[in-house]
Amino acid sequence: MTFWNQHVFVLLTPDAILRGVQRQFIDRLRAEDYTPVAATLTQSDSDMIDDLYADVIAGHWETWRYRMIDDAFSLGPCLGLICRYDGIEGDPHVVMRHLKGHQHPAKTSDGELRRDFGAVNSILGVMHASDNPAESEKDARIFGLTSADAGPVTERLDLLCALTTPVSPEYRDFDAVLGQLRAAILVAFLPRVSDPETVRRLRAIVGRTSAAGSLVDVDPATLAAPGAGLELARLGSGKIPGDLLQVLACEFTETTRGHWRGAELFGTIRRHGLELDPWQRVVLESSLYFEPERRRW
């Protein structure tokens, strides 16, 4: 049996590192009988990404997908692993294919890695894993690993995980990011809203109110509930500029992309002085092309 018939290359992508799940992810790999035997932390570049996805690029990728992938990998470093499979379930690559789950998180199930570790969409998918021995060898080499690097790595890898875990891990899923954008628009123009009925309706959308009339259980993601954007835009008509009303109403999902162009949406946001951090921008822009995993509204 050759080395790559028993080993699989696994890559934790920058979104996983930003969310601080690397230690739990590796613990999960070990629990699933995949033992890391080599590891490297790498800031990827465009050439590496082209090599990693060479087969699909040669097939049917459109230029906007290149842009999404480059933006996602520019968020930070990624963690490459060679994992030895110690299980008895069959071909290590086939077992990993089932374990990682569908590339579209909305089609994954509980118990699959992409679902359990909070993949946002197929661009921000937490991980990449090679599909066969030849691909594992190629992918590992792209990130500077070979079979010669295999050996004891547990203590070094645990230290690497500790050192790369953010002080403030990224917790925002798609709904939280969309809700924050809508909240920022409302905050910017709330001084123009004086009608008590409009204020009452806005409060009802933002969150639940107590018997005394105070807002309770307010979560920015409640502003992202399906249909909330259209209702907010309706309430803001005449008070919020028309182009920004379009941003407020947009669901930022693949099913709504036909009505709005991403460049126009983000240009409008900038013109009105609303700043998106890199995570917000990548989450919203990639979700316009690849359906995001949503909360169970």
Q: Which of 107, 142, 164 is the last residue of a domain?
A: 164
Domain identity same for 149 and 190: no
Domain identity same for 151 and 265: no
75 inside domain: yes
In this predicted structure, the answer to whether residue 47 has a pLDDT above a threshold of 70 is yes
DSSP calls for the chain: --HHHHEEEEEE-HHHHHTT-HHHHHHHHHHTTEEEEEEEEE---HHHHHHHTHHHHHHT--HHHHHHHHHHHTTS-EEEEEEEE--SSS-HHHHHHHHH--SSGGG--TTSHHHHTT--SSSS-SEEE-SSHHHHHHHHHHTT--GGG-S--HHHHHHHHHHHS-SS-----HHHHHHHHHHHHHHHHGGG---HHHHHHHHHHH-EE-TTS-EES--GGGGGSTTHHHHHHHHHBTTB-HHHHHHHH---SGGGGGG--HHHHHHHHHHTT----HHHHHHHHHHTTSPPP----
Percent of the chain with pLDDT over 70: 92
157 inside domain: yes
Domain identity same for 182 and 276: yes
pTM exceeds 0.85 for this model:
yes
101 inside domain: yes
Instruction: Among 17-31, 113-127, 140-154, 193-207, name the one with the lowest average pLDDT.
Output: 193-207
Domain identity same for 160 and 199: no
294 inside domain: no
Domain of residue 31, CATH code? 3.30.70.141
pLDDT at 210: 66
Domain identity same for 209 and 116: no
C-alpha torsion angle, residues 19, 22, 28, 34 (rounded to 10): 140
In this predicted structure, the answer to whether residue 263 has a pLDDT above a threshold of 90 is no
In this predicted structure, the answer to whether residue 61 has a pLDDT above a threshold of 60 is no
Domain identity same for 142 and 183: no
Domain around 196 = 174-287
293 inside domain: no
What is the count of structural domains for the chain?
Answer: 2
Q: Which of 146, 164, 182 is the last residue of a domain?
A: 164
Domain identity same for 135 and 248: no
Domain identity same for 7 and 146: yes
119 inside domain: yes
181 inside domain: yes
Instruction: Among 16-20, 53-57, 172-176, 200-204, name the one with the lowest average pLDDT.
Output: 53-57
Domain identity same for 140 and 8: yes
Q: Which of 164, 189, 216 is the last residue of a domain?
A: 164
pLDDT at 221: 77
Tell me the mean pLDDT in the region 233-257.
90
Query: What's the pLDDT band for 58 if we cut at 50, 70, 90?
Result: low
246 inside domain: yes
